[in-house]
Every structure is written in structure tokens, then in C-alpha cells.
Structure 1
């Protein structure tokens, strides 16, 4: 049997293995209630011969069971310990194995296969569960008379056990052969008619007497006899009946009425003008108003938070409003020269409006309307009453929040110190630094600021830091490292060798590096090479460094000049003078230190003397020391030159073109963006940027690091405390609304604004009285409706009131999301939502009903019949008013919900939460026909004869006298089921499907 929704398929029974092979003509079980089957096995004998061997196989039966693995039980309904089970539902137990209830049954297969165990439910007061350590199982005991009344008829146990397959993706055979075990289960149902407010015990017990004997530890002598009634029947039974228990649990029922019964009681009933406001006589307001001579009665309507859509506009009696308002203004304002310590009526909202002593004539019309109207002053007084009734809890929360605020203020004071210290450091050490020095000094924070190589901030989506920008530029990152900074400091190893000012030299070096060039401003040793510039860019072109080096170094001055350019000053030229001076004339040798007399000699001899390092001086040969030094230096120079040329010739060859260089680094722009006023290191912004995210939000103006004033927040909805003070103030006239009613209301924004203003005003007074340092003009509570559970508020409930100090409109036009014409409130009065608080309630846009051919179904007047469509809206807020009123707010206008001019309006849908399958029979709502129109209309009156007091639904009854076949669901011709045909059809008949009711809004609204 298939569920019409296609979710479940019911099978009358399921067997696997040899048990499925028990033939219908099998011999009766033996005295141990076990089935014996002849089994023939063909055995190969030799190469070609075979032999049939027949043996009798004994299957396990109910007499072999002394326990049940409770891990097979996957669900007990109701759950153990339940105290509010609906009495019209049947208790049940589910097993993981789909064949378990029939696994050990000795009965042959057929339409009505009896299980080997059953679920019985007995009243707790007549049942005793006994555990005997000498027995395999505990047992239940009850008198024979109670057993006759409490136990079901075992001959019909086949009807209350079935298997289930979930979904329709696989065939029953595929689901039952183990391919999809998660889709199958088996179920035992107890068809007991439960009584309200009664405690019960549910027990799994054997169906066969052999199982009883095995469970009680007795010799198994029974065959296929049922466990009860005892031999001879109930009429002769006396004493105590004892049954072994495989599993048991307890539960208690609630009052009568399930979801279907309760939701069917609801009726849409429009509320009139008497709901939402109550008359208040202000004629006898007190001695302060006695001289006004108000005629009695002087009735003024007092409106609540919820009102009828049909409520008339609020009207003052003629000639009353102006004198009452003037007298109230005289009472609450303090005239000049009056002692301010005299107790006067409060000006509600005075702290928030910053007008503690007077009502402004212009600019804040809501303040005058609130304080000069007795009705709205009463609403504000209700807010003050709520604070007074809950002051201890509210103040405890305020002090707890103040403790958190003190920790935040401590952090802010530390941030102020950090800001001042950072400003002093910047003024002393960073202001006036050259760009290159500023960039080097700030290198440790480059990874925490975002700048491009040209010093501009990156785009909103760019995440590159200044460190990354430096790496991407031609400027080497190592030039910002600590070792490099130490090397080029004025007293460092490199700074001491820099020509001129060290600051200018390092600036020139940094500037060259930022452009991709290397300028080393170091004084070369006397005669050394001066490497002016070595870099990638030579002559405006990209040339390899080594190629440029090989072309440039041999032409350096150091290759040509060793001592000096002036030979007269003792200098000489590398490689000798190409035009040496003639030798001096020969003279006579003279005596003297270091002089050698040189005799006349031919010219060749003189040349030999010169070659020997002698120099003629005053006709004497002296040792040529400068020449010798020159020779040695020439040798050193020549060898160095040869080694350098050899090195350059054997250096590895390099490519002629280089990879594209990165952008240049603008040192002045980067330094300015870092250390100038308003730059990345500006203490006023950098410190605040890191701290303000960790503390409560700062005022829009002023120092962001100023310690915060304590402004406790109370995010709880304040509609609940109002209902606790007086339910009539939440919904005046609530007592006149009939039970089991559905009506449409609207939120009263003027009342809510007045109430929340009075509440915040009293909070300001109480916080000042308790000595909590706070801003009395703050809006401490800004939520009236309870929006918890709203799927649109996953990020947290929003504020429903803007800060009261910013209100400038009339009363009722300042707050948002609290009421008004754009917010419709559905009210449900009855026990339905109290019993089922998780009921789904939503609004569905009405669409025309379509027949099987896709054409609209016309109503009696020819217009389309509306039905709920796919467009849905869920409640914005939800609340309750004791004892049995639930209200839900929708983002709908009354006109849109009603519909008209071709618009079909909206439905309100009340839907039961889907659960696991449940089975049962409805309680008769009244006189019922003998035969229902469909099985969905079946109730207890159709099962048992009128006036009978049956305890269990019997298959053999009025519906079985003549087999009754009906549609499973009302309004659908198919599928059908027959009462008592098999367990699958009985499951489909008693299956309780989730209920949904749709009520059109116009039926719950007053006529326009």
C-alpha cells in the first residue's frame, strides 16, 4: 500500500531466508513451536553421477527466544518518559530489520501473517514489572480480570504489524534484499484507545505460549498456541497473568485533542471597534484638574499596542483637549524661580530630548503630544512601571555591562598614552628626516601599511603592503635592512670613507638605488679605480652589468697613473717615458757619500749603467731610487692589469638583454606618505584604527579614543514585560475575543513609541540613582517586538527604534518596524499553539485554483476560487499573551491581505510540523455517519458500536461486517483501501498525515 504523498510504502509482512520458504500446507509445529522443513540437497557423485539427500531442518521459533537486542529498536512512540502524548494516537515501536516481527513466526505465509511478538499498552496502576535474577527476562504481572480488559485480541495481531519502505526510488525487492537498508524498517502498533491524563506502560511480549515459557525460564512444551487467553478462555481465568517482557517503557497522556482536532476548532472571527481601545473617564482626574469643571463622564479612548483594523480615529471630547493639555504643561514644567527640588510629574523623554525642564514649542512635536495627552502619558507610565518591576535584574545587567565598559575604557586610556608617545617620537625623530632616512627608519612597519612604489594608497581591492611594493620595485630590499643601516651610518665602516657629508653621500646612494643605479661615493685609494656608476641602465639602454664592466674598467685612470702626472714632482709614467731625456754629460768622479766615480766610457757602457739602476749626477753615477721604485710599481701595475684582463676575459658570458626591471621607488613620495601629517604613521589615525574596533562605538564627533560613557543596552523585547504588567494594555478588549478564534489586528505605533519612551526615561532615572556613570540621553532599550526565530534576522535582531533624541516627527511617525499600516498582526486564540508551539504559520499569496486540465475553477459567483500559492511570507515577530493568545506580525498591509480588484489577496496557513509516521484514530467531533466518506475522516465511532467501551480498535467490527473500501484521502478517488484486508491497508487507513489549514485574510478582517 502506497501513501498518496509518495513518501511511504507499507507491506503486510516481510520474510527472508528459509522462513520465506515455509509453505502454506506445512505441517503444524511440534510441541516446541518450531517449524520443520524437508530440505533436499543434490550432491555430485563421481564424474557424472548425482544423489539427492533429503534432511529435515528445524527453524528457530518463538520458544527459542530468551532476549531481544534492543539496538534493533530504532524508535519508540511516544518516547520514554513523555508526559503529554496525544491520546488518539497509537503507541508503536519500530525495528531496523524489516523482517524481524515475522522472523520466528511458525505460521505459514499469506495475507495475514501473525508476528511472533506484540506491543501491549497497559495502565500503570494495574501493571507490575518484576525482575527475577533466576529468569531470563523480566515479567509483567496483572490480575486475570485486568488482563481481560487491558490486553488486545491476539487473533488480530497480524493487522498491527507491517513493514515500511521510504520513498519510491527503488523497488520493494531491491529495498528488502539489503541494497538500501536505510529505506526499510518494520513496525508494531498497539491499537489501544488511550484515555487523557493517564499513565501507561508499553511492553514487547511474546505472541505464542512457547515464547512465554522460554522467557519465564520454563520448559517449552507448547506448540502454536497463543499466549492469551489462558486455556479455557477469560471466563474461567483467575489468579495472576504473567508475561515475559523483551522491552518496556512508560509514558503519560495529555488532554484529549491532537493537532487536527485543535486546528479544526479555529474559526476566523473579525474583531470590531471594541478591541484595541478602552474608554477612560478623565473627569475625575484629581484635585489639580478640579477647576476645569469637566462634565461627567468625559471619556477618552485608551489605545493598546495591538488594535482592531476597524478602530476609529482617536477623538477628544469637544472643548476638553486644550484645557487639559494646558494644565498638564503647567504641572510638569518648572516656572522660573520655583524650587527645582519640588517633586513634579515627569516630562517623559526629557533626558533623551535634552529638555529636562520645559517642553519645546517647535522641533519635537512628539514630546508635546506624549506629555500633554493623558492616554499617551499612561502608556509612558506603563514603560516606567516595567522598569520599576524589573529594576534589580535590569541594574544587575547594567553593572555587568559597565564592568565590560571599564575594561574597554582602560584600553582606550592606554591607546591615548600610545598615541601621545607615538606623536612625541614622530616629532623628535621623524620630522625633518631626509626621504631616504625616513624610509629606512620606518622599514619595520612597512609590512603593516599599504602603499604603492609612488607613495599612493592602493585601490580598494588591492592588498599589497609597502614591503611588497619595495620588493616589486628596482630598489633592493636589503638596502632597508638593519646591517645596511649600520654600515652607512656616519660613524660606520662605510660612512667614514664617504667623501664630503655622509648624509649627502647616503642620500645620493639611496636615490641611485631607487632608480636602479648603483653610485658608490667612496674615496678611492691613491691610484685606485673610481667606479662612478655600475648598473643595468647604461647610456639609457639596458646592458648587462658584466659587459659594461669589461668595457669600462680597462680605461680607468688607475691603469695609467700610479704616483702622479708631474714627472718633475717625482712622478713617472707606466711603461717608461717614450722620449727619455738624454744622459747627463760625463764628469770626473768625485768623492761623496753615495757617489761613485764614473770614468768616461763609451755610450754603450753608459746605457748599461742606466740599465743597472745608476743615474749620472754631477758626473757621478748614483743609485736611481725613484727609478727602482718605479720599476717595482710598474711590475705590480702590469701584473694587476694582466690579472684583471685575464679575469674579465674569462668571466661567464651574460645575455645581452635583461628581464624587465620593476618600477622605480619614489623615496620622497613614500617618506611623505609615511611620516607627514595625516600619513600612515599619523598617531591620531593609526592608533585609533587599531583600537576602536575592540571597544564600543564612539560618538560620531569628538576624539575616537575618548573613554566611553556607560550606556547599557537591553536587547530583550519589551512587549513581554508589558503583557506581564497588564494583558489588557497589550490588547484592550482581549477578554471579549471568543476562544478558538483567528483574527487580524494591526500594531499601534503611537502607543509603542510612548511606552518605549517612558521605559527609557525611567531607565535614565534609575541609572542615575544607582550611581552608574552614563549618558542619560541614551536610548537603552530599542526593541519592542520579539523577532527571535525570524529567518531574516540571522545576523541578530535589528534596532526597532532609532535613538529617541533624533526624533523630530509626530508621535507614531519616528520608530521603524513597530507597527502602522504596513504591518499586519495575525492573532490566534486557543490551545493549538500552546500544545504545539512549533507549529508553522506563514502567509501565502492566493492564486486561482486549477483543475486537472489546467483551467481555473470558478466559484458559485463565477469568480476564480483562491488557493494558497508558492509565494510565501513568514512572520517578522511573534509573541504571546497569557493564557492562550498568540500573535504574529507580517510585512503586509490590510488592503493587500484582503485583496480586491482582481487581486486574490493572501492566505494564512497553519501547518503541523512534519514528523515520523504516526497512526491512530480521531476522536468523534459529534454525531458521525455510520460509514465515513474517506478513511481520513475515520474516528472511533466508526470502529466501535455506539455506547460500547472498547479499549482496542478491533478489525472485526461494523466496518468488517461488509468489507468497506474507501478512498484514503478526502477529495481523491485514488488510492483506496479495504478495512481488514491486510496489515498494509490497515496501516494506510490509520496513518495520520500532517495537517495544514489555510484561512483567507478577508474572512478574519472586518468588512471594508
Structure 2
């Protein structure tokens, strides 16, 4: 159990600390001490106990929705583990003991023992019978198995660093392959006594129920504990072969796809070598008629395979010829499946061929026009490209969107075909224009010029830009704005107040006209406003006098009238960013992108990127090397498992053995299979590139870097002539050579397919493994590159690890996560309360470690 995991026997409200003892109508009696005290006389007080009853099981009619948050096994399970207790989880941690009509006895189990008022009961449909109106009948079998005298063990609170969880367990020991009914029922009657006695038959309210069924006997722990390093037969991975064409017959053995670690093929006798050579010698007919003879493995790729080392191995050794024959047989049996896959790929050849024909025709025409008609003037070329700029797409959008519109001075419509028609030479368009005015070399640079801001300035005064230049300072507009913001009076407020004063004076009509002029010109100078106040003040109006005196006292700063004048000098045009385009550079870039005479024009890459699987040269009649993504080891698994792992039937139950992969078998098998596929493709007139190897995948191992399956061989045409069958040179880089394969004969992986299997290096002391030290399971693990099965009970895992080096490694199996569960096959362990019982029966996740040296022949 984890150090962070804690169990408690019970938990409930502190109101039970007020219990005085005894029951009344099934409810616990309690009292609350209350003291009354005179605020003015502290000595005048009285204390009395106020009696009350704590609600009990009789007051509960049902559980609220959501009170039960989890069930194990989940409802409807058909293969639950029989070695686990059924349980439910509750949302409120105090719910199992909230209405228990009992108090905790500190003398019993240190106060940790308290019976819950709710219990979980489990039985078969015949012994636990659901009835209408949310009732359930428990027969004597169920009540005997659920003795309420021990119910304190069946409930606990779990803390694991997250939200605490309350849980109810049923003590019923499940049996394999049996249907069950589970129900949550009260453990007390209305009067506070036990709801049943062992052996009785009772009918009770049912607060919750579900059904499930158990599966086969055993679980991960019981199955994994049976595993043992097997005593593999020396012949495991070898199939016997009798060559009876020589006398006496020669007994040979053929290593399968999975072979003995360190095994090699015995040399052939000269008699067998000579006989095979005679059988495979080319035959000729005097009349020139074709003859059917033994297949020559490698002929589709090499004119004479016997001139290569691998070809001589494949054709001159009857063991490899037999493996190649297996591949031919697989090609015949799988021909419809393989041809369907090939036809789906070949169906795109017509589309690809049409695209490439159109591409080559377009390139030929465009190259001819480019050489004969391309203008010499750069601006004329740019003008020519204009209508296509909208269709040229970059990572930031179209070319037109980057060079025209927005903050660019060039208008987008200038590059339209309509603009080209307007500026075309003709009597109605260019007769009255200046010579060469419509030429692109004149139009484009002019349109690429940023417009000057409008000229603004007070009449008779110099423009502010001119003043800035004379003073050798920055933009005067900004300085004037800053001055206005700092020193300008709230003149508009004063105008409103003077306007009100004017309306009350006898000069209102005349002065209002003047004020309108002031407001329209926004000339709120101090001098003008004071003159208006003097005009209104002629009748000795006291209120106007006070207004005038307040105006005179107002601080306006020096230069108020000058600031008013500066306001009229703010002449800056509205902000309009403008970024002209480098037309010469734009023309160079566009010409380089469009030029069809370069070795690989942009349009070629654009078209060919949409077609995969093309062979070189790309701009030629289409020949595709079909790639069939089909791991063919499955054919041997389904039709000839003894060739996949010869002698596999000799493995004993629960044996674990180690073998290795056999690249020579894979090479010979795929030679025969691909020869058959190629002949069938040509027979069906499916075009395929010369020298193609359509099927290069035997196992279908997973490449962890790309999370995809990778082939086992490169194309046969790329095999070096001096390499032998099984050579590392036949494998895609980086070559893996022979790999460790661990084989299990057990039901474990059928029952628990999510079991994690990996290898990790043992701790080393002076270069030797210390099997008693803790290995680095976190960062030192090596996951399998392949997993397969033979039949229902044999599973094997392939690791990218040299089989001999595996002597110093652990083989590790980890139980798949299944949540918190509790075992029913470990006994009580002396548990008296729910915490002890949960701690003792808690199912810790299991990890199994097997020494690598125990699996390798010659090891301990």
C-alpha cells in the first residue's frame, strides 16, 4: 500500500459527543447544555441540559441522487475478478455512520470500531431477491454470510491526498463465472436493533442495487505468480527437414522466423549442394519452347541471382528454398487481398499520369513563350505579372495583399486586367496623353509614391513645418498640442457662463450674435472674453461683476493668446503610414519564382508534392513502386504457426522462454512472396516500376521515434551483391540485426491485454548484475518494438536488444491499473475494524521481475 494512502475505521459529526446514552424509538438520546446569565450581574446564571434526539435509521426513506459515486465491479460487468470484494463509494465521508444508533466505546479497539448503519450485501439472484417498491429479500445464505456483528469491518474512510472517500465492502467471497446481485440496505431496524440475525430471512428497504457477473478463476496476481523460466527444448525454433534426393537421406533443420538464441545453420553436404545445383540449372529446349522450371529467387531484381552471395544462399540451400516456397505459397493464398490493396494504389496512377502530362506540356509551352516574349524592361515584366499576383500565395498571404493596399501606396486595382485595358495604347485612351505617359515604367513608380499631406496654415502666416525647419526642432505640431493641454483655460466653460450672463442682460440679442461668431471660430482668447464681460457689465449688474472679478483672478499662464494662435497652427495631416515597395526587388523575386526555365520551377514542386510514391525521374511516364503495408507474419500465425516458431507446442503452461529473431528467414520468405506478387501484378496489367519490392514488411515493428510501423528490409535491388541472407545491409538504417524475443505461454495476456511488458538493465557491480539491488524502472526501461501471439495462450514480445546482452537485464511485467480494489483471498489478518480490514485486503498493483540470465541458454 502507498505511504500516502490512509484508512480510518469511521467518521461522523461531533454532535454524537452530546449523547447521554440510551435509545428512544430507535434514536439516540442527547443533551445540549445551555447557560442563561444576567448581563448586569454575572453571578446570576443558571445552566440546564436541553434534551433532544439524534435522527436514526428509521428517519431515512431513501438516499439522495449522487450519494453513491462508484461501484466495483461496475454495473453490467460480465467478467469481474472473483478474487475482489464488491464495494461502493459514497460522496459524503460520514454517510455510513451518520445515523448509526450507537456510540463509540473507547475500550473496544481503541475507539476505532463503529458499526455502519448502511451495509452492502451481495448474493446470487436466487439468494438475494429484488422485490417491488424498492424492497429486497435476503435469504438465510446471505444473512449468514453478512453477520452484522462484524459489520464494522465492512466500512472505512480512505485518504490519499485528494478528497476523502467513504467505502462499503461486502464480505461475500465471489465465485468464478457466477451472476450476482448487490444491494445497499440498512443495518438497523426502526427500534435501533440489528436488521437481521445470521440464518434469518428478512425483507428490507433497498437504497441502491446493481448486477454483475464474474469471469474465469484467477486474477493477474495468481496468473503472474505461476510464470517461471521454462526449460526450452534445444530444438525450439527449429523444424526438421529430410532431404531424400540423396542416398543416404540427409537430416536437416530449418530455423523459423523465431529461432534459438545463438543458433546457426549446419553446413550442407556436397551431395546436397550438387543435387540442388543440378535441379536449378537453366534448362533449354532445342525447339525454343519455354520451359517451366524451379523458381529462381531474386530473378525480378538481378539477371543472374547466383552471381550474388544472397542469391546463391536463397537458391542453393534447400532450407532457404523451402522458406522462399512458403513466401510463394503466402503470395498465392493472399493474392486477392494483396491485389486489392495494389489496385487501390494503382487507381491513382491515371490521375498522377494526367497531372504530369499536363505539367510537362505546360512547361514546354511556357518555356518557349518565356524565351521569345519576356519583356526586357523590369517594370514591363512586373506589369505583365500583375494579374497573377492575387493567385501567388506565400506564408503571409497573397503577393498582391503584401505589395498593394493597406499602408502600401500601390492600389490593388492597378494590377487588374481592367487597368491593363485602360492603359493600353489607343485613340480614345492615350492620344491626348503625354508621350510614354501610359508606359509601366512611368505608371508604376508614380503610383508607388506616397501622397504629400495637404497644405494647411493660417492665411498670411508661415506653415508650422516651415517654422520647425527654421528653429531646427522636431515637429512643432506636437509641441503646440502639449502646450495647449498644459496651459489652455477651460474656455468653453467660461463661454457658457458668459452666455448665461448675456441672456440676462439687455444687450442679449446683440451680444449673442457676437458670441455665435466666437463659438463658430472657437477663438476663445482671454482678451475677447473679457471684452464680452465688459459689455455685459455696463448696467452695473452685481452678478456680472462677480463673474468678471472671478475671470480676472483665474490663472491662465503666460502666453495664453499665443497658445490660442498655436491652436490654429496645428497643421499635421491625419496619420497615414505609407511604405513604398521596392519595385526592382519585387520584380527580381517574382521573375525567379515564375521562371519556367530553371532546373526545378516552382510549379513542378507544387504539382509533384501532391503525388507520393513516384520513382525518378519524376517528369517521365509514371512508374510507381507500390508499397503494401501488410505485416505478413500473421499469415504464418494463421496457417503455419510451426514455421513461425517451430516446436511451439512443446512449451509447457506458464513457461517463459527467450528466442531471437531470424533475419535470414525473413529475407528468404519475402524474396518468394515478392516474386509471386510481381508476377501477379504483371499478369493483371498493373504498372509497376522496375526493380520494385512491393512488400518489405514482415513483422511490422513500431518505430518509437515516428510512432509508425517500419519495414524489415530495403528494396531487394539495393541488396549488396556480396551480402548473405540475413545481412544487416538488407535492413533499413539503423540495422537491428537479431533481437531478443521473450515468449510466454500463459492466459495472462488474454485476460489482461493491457499488461505492460518491458526490459530494464539490472544494477551492475564490477560489470556483473546485482539481482538484489533495485533496478532503475523509471528511466531505464526499454519497451518492445513488436508484440504478437500464436493461438490463445502464447504471446511474444520483441525488444531492440542483443539476445546475449539480455543476460544482465530484467524482464518486467506490470499489472494494468484497475482502480482501488480489495482482495477476498487473503483472510482477515486479525482485522477488528474497517481501517485494519481495508489495509490488510488492499490490492497493491503487482510488478513481476524475471532475471534475463534465467531465460538465455547457459544461464542460471
Q: Same fold (TM over 0.5)?
A: yes
**2:489 aligned residue:** none
**2:289 aligned residue:** 339
1:16-35, Cα deviation, whole Å (9 max, x unpaired): 363x4354x521x234x222
1:140 aligns with 2:140: no
CA distance in 1, matches of 2:188, 2:653: 51
**1:298 aligned residue:** 250
**1:224 aligned residue:** 192
C-alpha distance 158-651 of structure 1, shift in aligned 2 (>3 A): closer
CA distance in 1, matches of 2:86, 2:838: 13
1:200-221, Cα deviation, whole Å (9 max, x unpaired): 22222221233xxxxxxxxxxx
1:823–1:891 CA contact under 8 A, matched in 2: yes
| Shift of residue 336, structure 1, vs aligned partner | 7.8
Match of 1:257 among 218, 232, 237: 218
**2:789 aligned residue:** 880
C-alpha distance 431-837 of structure 1, shift in aligned 2 (>3 A): same
2:119–2:187 CA contact under 8 A, matched in 1: yes
1:755-798, Cα deviation, whole Å (9 max, x unpaired): 1222223333344455545458533332222446x75443x223
1:487-519, Cα deviation, whole Å (9 max, x unpaired): 43221766434666x59x72652696699899x
**2:72 aligned residue:** 77
Give the alignment of 1:959-978 within 5 angstroms: none
C-alpha distance 917-321 of structure 1, shift in aligned 2 (>3 A): same
1:470–1:665 CA contact under 8 A, matched in 2: no
CA distance in 1, matches of 2:406, 2:427: 29
**2:174 aligned residue:** 194
**1:441 aligned residue:** 384
1:589-614, Cα deviation, whole Å (9 max, x unpaired): xxxxxxxxxxxxxxxxxxxxxxxxxx
1:21 aligns with 2:17: yes
1:383 aligns with 2:383: no
Match of 1:368 among 312, 315, 322: 312
C-alpha distance 42-465 of structure 1, shift in aligned 2 (>3 A): farther
3-state SS in 2 of match to 1:205: strand
| Shift of residue 226, structure 1, vs aligned partner | 1.4
C-alpha distance 816-741 of structure 1, shift in aligned 2 (>3 A): farther
Match of 2:184 among 204, 216, 234: 204
C-alpha distance 43-761 of structure 1, shift in aligned 2 (>3 A): farther
CA distance in 1, matches of 2:734, 2:699: 7
CA distance in 1, matches of 2:11, 2:408: 81
1:736 aligns with 2:729: no
2:763–2:769 CA contact under 8 A, matched in 1: no
1:272–1:1006 CA contact under 8 A, matched in 2: no
Give the alignment of 1:778-857 within 5 angstroms: 778-787=692-701, 791-794=704-707, 796-808=708-720, 809-813=723-727, 814-816=730-732, 821-847=737-763
1:349–1:760 CA contact under 8 A, matched in 2: no
CA distance in 1, matches of 2:238, 2:399: 65
3-state SS in 2 of match to 1:442: helix
Normalised by the size of structure 2, how large is the TM-score?
0.75
| Shift of residue 697, structure 1, vs aligned partner | 2.7
3-state SS in 2 of match to 1:71: coil
| Shift of residue 991, structure 1, vs aligned partner | 0.8
CA distance in 1, matches of 2:66, 2:800: 49
C-alpha distance 877-206 of structure 1, shift in aligned 2 (>3 A): same
CA distance in 2, matches of 1:241, 1:769: 79
**1:57 aligned residue:** 52
1:98–1:184 CA contact under 8 A, matched in 2: yes
| Shift of residue 431, structure 1, vs aligned partner | 2.1
**2:592 aligned residue:** 673
**2:630 aligned residue:** 716
CA distance in 1, matches of 2:831, 2:589: 92
C-alpha distance 671-103 of structure 1, shift in aligned 2 (>3 A): closer
**1:128 aligned residue:** 129
| Shift of residue 483, structure 1, vs aligned partner | 5.9
| Shift of residue 1006, structure 1, vs aligned partner | 1.4
1:760–1:780 CA contact under 8 A, matched in 2: yes
C-alpha distance 678-6 of structure 1, shift in aligned 2 (>3 A): farther
1:133-159, Cα deviation, whole Å (9 max, x unpaired): xx3x132354x4x3465x321100101
C-alpha distance 95-836 of structure 1, shift in aligned 2 (>3 A): same
C-alpha distance 125-325 of structure 1, shift in aligned 2 (>3 A): farther
1:267–1:740 CA contact under 8 A, matched in 2: yes
C-alpha distance 674-770 of structure 1, shift in aligned 2 (>3 A): closer
**1:417 aligned residue:** 358
| Shift of residue 896, structure 1, vs aligned partner | 2.7
Structure 2, unpaired ranges of 5+ = 105-110, 452-464, 467-568
3-state SS in 1 of match to 2:674: helix
2:10–2:97 CA contact under 8 A, matched in 1: yes
1:77–1:91 CA contact under 8 A, matched in 2: yes
C-alpha distance 128-672 of structure 1, shift in aligned 2 (>3 A): closer
Match of 2:281 among 330, 339, 344: 330
| Shift of residue 671, structure 1, vs aligned partner | 6.8
CA distance in 1, matches of 2:102, 2:802: 66
**1:289 aligned residue:** none
Question: Root-mean-square deviation (CA), in Å?
Answer: 4.1
C-alpha distance 761-17 of structure 1, shift in aligned 2 (>3 A): farther
| Shift of residue 876, structure 1, vs aligned partner | 1.1
**1:10 aligned residue:** 7
C-alpha distance 738-907 of structure 1, shift in aligned 2 (>3 A): same
Give the alignment of 1:144-223 within 5 angstroms: 144=140, 146-147=141-142, 151-167=145-161, 183-210=163-190, 223=191
Give the alignment of 1:280-291 within 5 angstroms: 280-284=241-245
Match of 2:609 among 686, 690, 693: 693
| Shift of residue 754, structure 1, vs aligned partner | 1.4
1:436-461, Cα deviation, whole Å (9 max, x unpaired): 2221121233366599xxxxxxxxx9
3-state SS in 2 of match to 1:281: strand
1:893-943, Cα deviation, whole Å (9 max, x unpaired): 133322xxxxxx321111112331211144xxxxxxxxxxxxxxxx4xxx4
3-state SS in 2 of match to 1:320: helix
**1:316 aligned residue:** 267
1:756–1:782 CA contact under 8 A, matched in 2: yes
1:824–1:892 CA contact under 8 A, matched in 2: yes
| Shift of residue 988, structure 1, vs aligned partner | 0.9
1:953-974, Cα deviation, whole Å (9 max, x unpaired): xx5xxx6xxxxxxxxxxxxxxx
1:209–1:224 CA contact under 8 A, matched in 2: yes
2:18–2:31 CA contact under 8 A, matched in 1: no
1:750 aligns with 2:691: no
1:532-581, Cα deviation, whole Å (9 max, x unpaired): xxxxxxxxxxxxxx99xxxxxxxxxxxxxxxxxxxxxxxxxxxxxxxxxx
**2:426 aligned residue:** 491
3-state SS in 2 of match to 1:377: helix
**Range with bigger deviation, 470-479 or 197-206:** 470-479
1:913 aligns with 2:827: no
CA distance in 1, matches of 2:52, 2:92: 24
3-state SS in 2 of match to 1:797: strand
1:37–1:58 CA contact under 8 A, matched in 2: yes
**1:997 aligned residue:** 848
C-alpha distance 818-69 of structure 1, shift in aligned 2 (>3 A): farther
1:87–1:194 CA contact under 8 A, matched in 2: yes
Match of 2:805 among 896, 913, 918: 896
1:106 aligns with 2:111: no
3-state SS in 2 of match to 1:7: coil
2:410–2:448 CA contact under 8 A, matched in 1: no
1:139–1:242 CA contact under 8 A, matched in 2: yes
3-state SS in 1 of match to 2:813: strand
1:270–1:744 CA contact under 8 A, matched in 2: no
CA distance in 2, matches of 1:105, 1:981: 18
